[in-house]
Structure 1
Amino acid sequence: MSHTVEKIGGTSMSEYQAVRDNIILHNRTPEQYYQRLLVVSAFGGVTDGLLECKRTGAPGVYATYADAEDDSAWEQALDNVLNRMAQINEDMFGLSPERALADSFLQERIAGIRECLHHLRQVCAFGQFQLAEQLQTIRELLAAMGEAHSAHNMVLYLRQSGVNAVLMDLTGWRSDEALPLDEVLTQTLARYDLSSQLPVVTGYAHCKEGLMSRFDRGYSEMTFSRLAVLSKAREAIIHKEFHLSSADPRLAGEDQVIPIGRTNYDVTDQLSNLGMEAIHPQAAKGLRQKDIPLRVRNTFEPDHEGTLITTDYRSPSPCVEMVAGRRNIFAVELFDQDMVGRVSHYAECFTDELDSMRLNLVSKDMNANTLTYYISGNRKTVRTLVAALQRRFENADINTHKVSVVSAVGSDMSIPGLLARSVAALNKAGVPVRAVHQSLRAVEMQFIVDDEYYEQSVVSLHDELVQTDAETVALAVA
């Protein structure tokens, strides 16, 4: 039997007992602990403290270091993270001998980072060296600390239970060179015997390409994907704190949503576009091209098989598999009477500005003289975009609206009357629809609504398109 490559998310990692009991030990004999590679994220909240909060943008060590004029602010931020990580060590190991090993590893790494940041400040005091040119390297150094800590701790923790866990440290700590990612992974894999060792792998990998500069905080999924591809894994598995379900259980209700069970990589691409990544699209690309199945499992339901994602899956009968969405989207509407016959020129200019500002395009629509782009980004950058477009097209009227995108998604949604049912459900719930997008490929149908109606839209569409149809099938089977 060939091996699996498995990624454990940060929220799950914080529930380290569940990771051990449900993922590693559950229903396995000691001989079955192996033939696996575990790629781990940092413990929940640690990367936010090292970089910045992903949800609120509150500054961590990186953001404080980049902006501070003296050392006290970023040093305090680093001390805060150190204290948090030390508390994790205490919670995991108490007074056991492993506690001393975990604390020693942590203190050595943090001391090295502190020394590095101090020296960089001193060097940049000379005019020939600019701090801005080193910030991406600092960002990667700090991010790597989170995964190094969690991987090292998990190795110690699993060894307490008789598992021959070993650390696969890809962070490049004190390394003199940066090799291409595939070369780093291939060389490192050759040092381990999967038949008798369980490598716990840092989600961050130091490499020539610079994972964070290309994928920002999606870097661990790239490490996970490339390990699966290069090692020719039988299956890639992501362990999360929830199932990949038919809707957000916080909106539709935990007792109302159902695990999807099966879907394909086409559907995961649609979810990525909505910011609900089952996996980063570039990470999914490698798995898809090598025809490696991806399974998404719930850490806290070890007996559930989760959702299997393959290249060629198509639902046995047309159906909506999931209702998902994205809030806080800006609709940027550009109207110009002179656009008629020149829409492609306007669209090209619009796209150029989006790319230059690194704004994410979620959807768009057009007619003879109007382009509307639905964009994910902060208000300040959107205003900069509008100003740039106004300079390009002086006679255009450009307006912005705050909206949400709500989508019905499935591997085959070629259902007669689906659009009419959806609009009727939204109308019944009192949701005014601003725009509708339905593609010929029948894998997604989007509704643009005012942001205040987001939750109502998700619940009403899930009730109509998922629950009602599931109940009909259940009755037919009975």
Structure 2
Amino acid sequence: MSHTVEKIGGTSMSQYQAVRDNIVLHNRKPDGYYQRMLVVSAFGGITDGLLECKRTGAPGVYATYADAEDDSAWEQTLDNVCNRMAQINEDMFAQTPERALADSFLQDRIAGIRDCLHHLRQVCAFGQFQLAEQLQTIRELLAAMGEAHSAHNMVLYLRQSGVNAVLMDLTGWRTDEALPLDDVLKQALSRYDLSSQLPVVTGYAHCKEGLMSRFDRGYSEMTFSRLAVLSGAREAIIHKEFHLSSADPRLAGEDQVIPIGRTNYDVTDQLSNLGMEAIHPQAAKGLRQQDIPLRVRNTFEPDHEGTLITTNYRSPSPCVEMVAGRRNIFAVELFDQDMVGRVSHYAECFTDELDGMRLNLVSKDMNANTLTYYISGNRKTVRTLVSALQRRFENADINTHKVSVVSAVGSDMSIPGLLARSVAALNKANVPVRAVHQSLRAVEMQFIVDDEFYEQAVVSLHDELVQTHAETVALAVA
């Protein structure tokens, strides 16, 4: 096939003019608008309002409904989100005919959700029905609203510019059954002609597997990935509000970081482990297995080719491509003199407890009698983990430390002396190193530092491993 499947994130969607001008229309004649599908997220901040804030945890409609004793709290929260969505309609369409269509669509969906939540409260008033058993379904219903709104609006908006955009609504609104995800997508694909239509696809897809229960807020990337795989796309593209760069420009400086031209799926897995997902690992899996290239582009620089991610790419010469990291990590250190010769048993118990509490393991190290796991999660859950481990191993000493993980990442980092240079750079920047992990595969090297030194560690490693290398290459070319 000659088509592309393209995902647009929520921050980019809020800049809907840029989406139209830079993604859909840029340097294209009318017959070039097609042979592509756009998978859209909700407008920025809307899913936070419908569920809970991803960054702060502040409750949205879902969290308020789950905890409220009466209807007034969640209804007010729903009204607030509805008002924000209506304001988006006004900003996009002013007093044009499309405004009435957008408002009507919004009001119908919100009224349906409100009725559903009211009726569920009434049913759960009977002892035989438990609200807790329905919460995941409610979460999916609310999440779907954000993508339905943004996709419908984008269809109307693009039609104003002469694009034959059509809505591919995968949210399962008022459907009777849930099919497997692949069946849902195959049925949807059969209804569209990519040579003359531009499908705008809801990032949420209602399916038997329950995307949110498996991938939570990463569900839109799974929809995007499976659409690309099932339709045989020649390329999958993610449009973000920034380049995939050699470091966070807010730390290393916008004039110092370098957009990554090419890398591989191995590198994106390392970034995902650090909480910096270019794409969800399970979404990347399907693309990788079908050998579909993934491109990450900056919405606001349409002439830049972005980052091309493929399966077999290796940098022409060994180098560090990126310096990335993760703050607010808990190092949970378990020391037990009786561990000698039984490390695997302790590790298995440790992992069982982690999985049961849904904590994210970022890294780990061990010696004869000590296991240290570096974990992402909230302090309360980590304390619960420590208590569970203490019950299992009564004679163990268990301590926790707040740390950060800073990593040098690249498709080929087999560089003699790289570790020594890195430690020297950190030492020069007065960053104490708590632990170091360097794998044989030479795709990542991790440094554990106290949380207060995170920014200094990123900047010093980027200066030494990326900037110095780039300057050396530039001089060699000159």
TM surpasses 0.5:
yes
Structure 1 segments, 4+ long, off by >2 Å, are none
d(CA) in 2 for partners of 1:277 and 1:155?
A: 28
* 1:123 positional shift: 0.3
TM-score by length of 1: 1.00
**SS at 1:400 equivalent:** strand
- Deviation of 1:187 after TM superposition, in Å, equals 0.6
CA distance in 2, matches of 1:277, 1:472: 30
Deviations 1:85-117 (A, max 9, x none): 000000000011100000000000000000000
In the alignment, the residues of structure 2 paired with residue 39 and residue 184 of structure 1 have an alpha-carbon distance, to the nearest angstrom, of 15
Question: CA offsets per residue over residues 332-381 of structure 1, 9 Å max, x none?
Answer: 00000000000000000000000000000000000000000000000000
Q: Which residue of 1 aligns with 2:30?
A: 30
Superposed, which structure 2 residues align to 1:164-175 within 5 Å? 164-175=164-175
Secondary structure of 1:325's counterpart equals strand
- Secondary structure in 2 matching 1:140: helix
State the distance in 2 between where 1:260 and 1:157 align. 32
Q: How far has the Cα of 1:241 moved from its partner?
A: 0.0
Q: Distance in 2 between matches of 1:373 and 1:395?
A: 18
Q: Give the SS at the match of 2:364.
A: strand
1:320-343 Cα shifts (integer Å, max 9, x gaps): 000000000000000000000000
Whole-Å separation in 2 of the counterparts to 1:99 and 1:355: 47
Distance 1:473 1:262 in 2: 17
**How far off is 1:463 after superposition?**
0.4
Q: Show CA shifts across 1:358-407 (max 9, x none).
A: 00000000000000000000000000000000000000000000000000
Q: Give per-residue Cα distances to partners, 1:282-312, cap 9 Å, x unaligned.
A: 0000000000000000000000000000000
Give the SS at the match of 2:318.
Answer: coil
Please say if 1:415 is aligned against 2:415. Answer: yes
Alpha-carbon distance, 1:266 to partner: 0.2
Residue-by-residue CA offset, 1:27-60 (whole Å, 9 max, x unaligned) = 0000000000000000000000000000000000
1:445 counterpart SS class: strand
Query: CA offsets, 1:166-201, max 9 Å, x none?
Result: 000000000000000000000110000000000000
- Give 1:461 shift: 0.3
Structure 1 residues without counterparts, runs of 5 or longer: none
**1:477 to partner: Cα distance:** 0.2
Q: What is the root-mean-square deviation in Å for CA atoms of aligned residues?
A: 0.4
Q: 1:84 and 1:196 mapped to 2: Cα distance?
A: 33
Offset from partner CA, 1:5-26 (integer Å, 9 cap, x none): 0000000000000000000000
CA drift of 1:119 comes to 0.2
How far does residue 79 in structure 1 lie from its aligned partner after superposition? 0.2
Aligned-residue offset at 1:162: 0.2
After the TM superposition, which residues 261-340 of structure 1 pair with which residues of structure 2 at under 5 Å, given as runs? Answer: 261-340=261-340
Cα drift, residue 127 of structure 1: 0.2
Pair 1:397 & 2:402 matched = no
Distance 1:128 1:7 in 2: 42
Counterpart secondary structure, 1:187: helix
Q: Distance in 2 between matches of 1:254 and 1:95?
A: 40
CA distance in 2, matches of 1:147, 1:386: 39
Listed as ranges, the matches of 1:389-468 within 5 Å are: 389-468=389-468
d(CA) in 2 for partners of 1:449, 1:107: 51
SS in 2 for 1:172: coil
Deviation at 1:418, TM superposition (A): 0.3
Distance of 1:65 and 1:261 partners within structure 2? 45
For residues 261 and 46 of structure 2, the distance between their equivalents in structure 1, rounded to whole angstroms, comes to 31
Deviation, structure 1 residue 231: 0.0
Deviations 1:230-276 (A, max 9, x none): 00000000000000000000000111101111000000000000000
Map 1:84-103 → 2, pairs under 5 A? 84-103=84-103
User: Following the alignment from structure 1 to structure 2, what is the Cα–Cα distance between the partners of residues 430 and 58?
Assistant: 36
Structure 2 distance, partners of 1:469, 1:263, is 17
Distance in 2 of aligned mates of 1:213 and 1:233: 27
Give how far 1:75 is off.
0.1
Q: Give SS of 1:158's match.
A: helix
Distance 1:45 1:261 in 2: 30
Alignment partners' CA distance in 2, 1:106 and 1:231: 30
Aligned residues: 478
CA distance in 1, matches of 2:201, 2:37: 7
TM-score, normalised to structure 2's length?
1.00
For structure 2, list consecutive stretches of 5 or more residues without a partner in the other structure: none
Distance 1:343 1:366 in 2: 8
Shift of 1:421: 0.4
